[in-house]
């Protein structure tokens, strides 16, 4: 295949991210400088984000049989790059500078986050099982190192090992499923598989087993019930900015490729597999919310809550017609904004050299009297996660309910309503904790260094955005409508 300028324009986000990785690597080898590495990473990610605009002009375009750059890929690329930018900013505040900061090498954290983001960009534009696997591994492998980055903390190392072992098991299922699909369809491209399965009418047992095994591999990465057991431990052990990355960029990439796979092969959304997805969705919603009720650790609570949120998203995947793709886009954008805000507050409350993150709920008692700005941000995020009107989360949930009603999935709609009701309880519990009066409280805001201020400004912007999208969601809806899979 001949490469033209258009192909390079379409691939620009991925190429710029890859170039940034190389520059950061060389900069670390030449001379370690935390601020310089941070600035290079941010500059590269911003350039990659800007390069999506010219890429949209040449879309849709197939770049090699492996990648398809279309409006759908561009939307999720932008979402991953924005989430990565936020996580890099939080990481800079978290690692600190000088003698007071993180005791080990700080610069490699940026390198690993950038490599993982590049994997995410490959994943959302994959139109071939080989592209999917390469993207998924490039996304996952750097995360093993990221989760265990706070090496002096035993929980962080334990989380890294757990994630690595279970992720490897998930990849094995995925590969086996791909092999079975290839045996049945004789093709590795999503289109080829879709056509081969459509030609036979009902998918054969081998094709269903292959799709089922691929679903298990992807469900591991998305921490859907019953493949969710690693989630709370890994969220708790990982440094706060890494947990933010894992909850947002990493899951968005996997879910986007799942949508593409299921939309292209209609066989996937019929018969046995649809019933399996329905059961997984209901189980994820109920288990995620019920287990979050008992948590006294904020990171674990957000981990269980993310299981429930991806259960909600599966409702749109099962419906897979009408509003489905639009609903998934809206929900993922609102989910990313709120998760970044919630983990951002934990990041700015934590300092890695004190041994562990400030993630226990008792550490947030009466936070309003000490850090009013952070309290305001966390309050908005909790309201948004609960899906309260006038926040971004409400718009997302509304769309998911509309999709479920449109396709008459009453069991799923019922479990969503029940799950949301349980969710309101534990989100409110966190909010009440923030405003409790404590004896002998110091009523002033703690001092912040400039890198923490940068993180603080970003968090305030996220909170304003969550409110703005709740009040006036039209720009987001227009954006998502233009990025349908037909585009």
Using H for helix, E for strand and C for coil, what is the string for the chain? CCCCHHHHHHCHHHHHHHHHHHHHHHHHHHCCCHHHHHHHHHHHHHHHHHCHHHHHHHCCEEECCCEEECHHHHHHHHHHHHHHHHHHHHHHHHHCCHHHCCCCCCHHHHHHHHHHHHHHHHHHCECEHHHHHHHHHHHHHHHHHHHCCCCCCHHHHHHHHHHHHHHHHHHHHHHHHHHHHHHHHCCCEHHHHHHHHHHCCCCCHHHHHHHHHHHHHHHHHHCCCCCCCCHHHHHHHCCHHHHHHHHHHHHHHHHHHHHHHHHHCHHHHCCHHHHHHHHHHHHHHHHHHHHHHCCCEHHHHHHHHHHHHHHHHHHHHHHCCCCHHHHHHHHHHHHHHHHHHHHHHHHHHCCHHHCCCCCEHHHHCCHHHHCHHHHHHHHHHHHHHHCCCCCHHHHHHHHHHHHHHHCCCHHHHHHHHHHHHHHHHHHHHHHHHHCCCCCCCCCCCCCCCHHHHHHHHHHHHHHHHHHHHHHCCHHHHHHHHHCCCCC
Q: Choose the weakest-confidence range: 18-22, 288-292, 373-377.
A: 373-377
Q: Which residues of 356-370 are buried (b: 16+ CB within 10 A; e: fewer)?
A: bbbbebeebbbbbbb
Q: What is the mean pLDDT of the segment spanning 424-440?
A: 85
Q: What is the mean pLDDT of the segment spanning 430-459?
A: 71
Range of the structural domain that residue 393 is part of: 5-482
Q: Which residues pair with 63 in a beta bridge?
A: 67
State the CB neighbour count (10 A cutoff) for residue 487: 16
Distance of CA 431 to the CA centre of its chain: 24
> What band does 98 get if pLDDT is binned at 50, 70 and 90?
low
Q: Judge whether residue 197 has pLDDT over 70.
A: yes
How many domains would you assign to the chain? 1
Given this model, what pLDDT does residue 486 score?
47
Q: Judge whether residue 353 has pLDDT over 80.
A: no
Higher-confidence position of 228 and 98: 228
And the tokens for 241?
């900015």
Rounded to whole angstroms, how far apart are CA atoms 334 and 181?
34
And the tokens for 195?
């056509």
User: 427, 386 in Cβ contact below 8 A?
Assistant: yes
Q: Judge whether residue 364 has pLDDT over 90.
A: no
- Of all residues in the chain, what percent carry a pLDDT higher than 90? 50
pLDDT digits (tens, 9 = 90+) for 131-174: 999 999 999 999 999 999 888 888 889 999 999 999 999 999 99
CB neighbours of 37 closer than 8 A, spacing ≥ 6?
24, 27, 28, 106, 107, 110, 111
Q: Which residues pair with 67 in a beta bridge?
A: 63, 126
Given this model, what pLDDT does residue 366 score?
84
Q: What is the mean pLDDT of the segment spanning 377-385?
A: 93
> What band does 451 get if pLDDT is binned at 50, 70 and 90?
low
Higher-confidence position of 443 and 117: 117
User: Could you tell me if residue 357 is inside a domain?
Assistant: yes
Q: What is the mean pLDDT of the segment spanning 365-390?
A: 89
And the tokens for 106?
């700080």
> What band does 4 get if pLDDT is binned at 50, 70 and 90?
confident
User: Could you tell me if residue 195 is inside a domain?
Assistant: yes
Rounded to whole angstroms, how far apart are CA atoms 478 and 367?
38
User: Could you tell me if residue 487 is inside a domain?
Assistant: no
Q: Which residues pair with 297 in a beta bridge?
A: 360
User: Could you tell me if residue 61 is inside a domain?
Assistant: yes
Q: Choose the weakest-confidence range: 181-195, 265-279, 322-336, 371-385.
A: 265-279
pLDDT digits (tens, 9 = 90+) for 8-19: 888 999 999 999
Given this model, what pLDDT does residue 487 score?
40
And the tokens for 213?
């095994």
Q: What is the mean pLDDT of the segment spanning 106-113?
A: 92
For the chain, the average pLDDT equals 87
> What band does 452 get if pLDDT is binned at 50, 70 and 90?
low
User: Could you tell me if residue 212 is inside a domain?
Assistant: yes
Rounded to whole angstroms, how far apart are CA atoms 102 and 331?
35
Q: Choose the weakest-confidence range: 157-171, 337-351, 439-453.
A: 439-453
Rounded to whole angstroms, how far apart are CA atoms 220 and 464?
33
Q: Judge whether residue 243 has pLDDT over 80.
A: yes
């Amino acid at each position: 295949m001949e490469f033209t300028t258009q192909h390079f324009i379409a691939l620009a986000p991925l190429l710029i991210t890859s170039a940034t990785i190389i520059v950061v690597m060389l900069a670390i080898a030449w001379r370690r400088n935390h601020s310089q590495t941070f600035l290079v990473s941010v500059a590269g990610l911003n350039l990659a984000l800007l390069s999506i605009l010219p890429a949209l002009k040449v879309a849709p375009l197939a770049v090699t049989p492996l990648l398809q750059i279309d409006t759908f890929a561009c939307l999720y690329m932008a979402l991953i790059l924005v989430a990565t930018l936020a996580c890099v900013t939080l990481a800079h505040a978290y690692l600190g500078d000088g003698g007071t900061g993180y005791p080990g090498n700080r610069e490699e954290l940026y390198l690993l986050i950038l490599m993982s983001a590049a994997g995410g960009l490959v994943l959302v534009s994959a139109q071939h099982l080989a592209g999917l696997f390469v993207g998924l591994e490039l996304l996952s492998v750097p995360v093993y190192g990221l989760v265990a980055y706070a090496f002096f903390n035993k929980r962080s190392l334990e989380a890294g090992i757990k994630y690595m072992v279970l992720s490897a098991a998930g990849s094995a299922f995925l590969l086996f499923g791909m092999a079975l699909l290839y045996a049945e369809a004789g093709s590795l491209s999503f289109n080829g598989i879709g056509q081969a399965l459509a030609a036979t009418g009902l998918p054969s047992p081998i094709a269903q087993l292959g799709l089922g095994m691929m679903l298990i591999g992807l469900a591991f990465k998305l921490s859907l019930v019953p493949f969710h057991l690693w989630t709370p431990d890994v969220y708790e052990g990982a440094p706060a900015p890494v947990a933010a990355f894992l909850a947002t960029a990493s899951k968005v990439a996997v879910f986007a490729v799942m949508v593409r796979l299921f939309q292209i092969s209609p066989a996937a959304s019929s018969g046995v597999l649809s019933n399996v997805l329905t059961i997984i969705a209901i189980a994820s919603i109920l288990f995620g919310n019920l287990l979050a009720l008992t948590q006294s650790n904020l990171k674990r609570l957000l981990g269980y809550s993310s299981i429930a949120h991806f259960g909600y998203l599966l409702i749109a995947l099962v419906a897979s017609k009408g509003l489905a793709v639009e609903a998934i886009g809206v929900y993922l954008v609102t989910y990313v904004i709120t998760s970044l805000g919630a983990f951002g507050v934990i990041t700015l409350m934590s300092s890695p050299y004190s041994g562990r993150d400030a993630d226990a709920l008792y550490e947030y008692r009466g936070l309003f009297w000490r850090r009013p700005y952070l309290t305001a941000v966390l309050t908005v995020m909790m309201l948004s996660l609960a899906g309260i009107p006038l926040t971004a989360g409400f718009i997302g949930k509304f769309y998911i309910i509309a999709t479920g009603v449109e396709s008459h999935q009453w069991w799923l709609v019922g479990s969503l309503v029940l799950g949301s009701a349980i969710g309101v309880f534990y989100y409110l519990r966190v909010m009440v904790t923030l405003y409790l009066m404590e004896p002998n409280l110091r009523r002033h805001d703690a001092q912040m260094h400039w890198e923490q201020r940068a993180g603080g400004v970003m968090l305030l912007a996220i909170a304003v955005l969550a409110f703005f999208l709740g009040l006036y969601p039209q720009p987001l809806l227009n954006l998502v409508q233009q990025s349908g899979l037909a585009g």
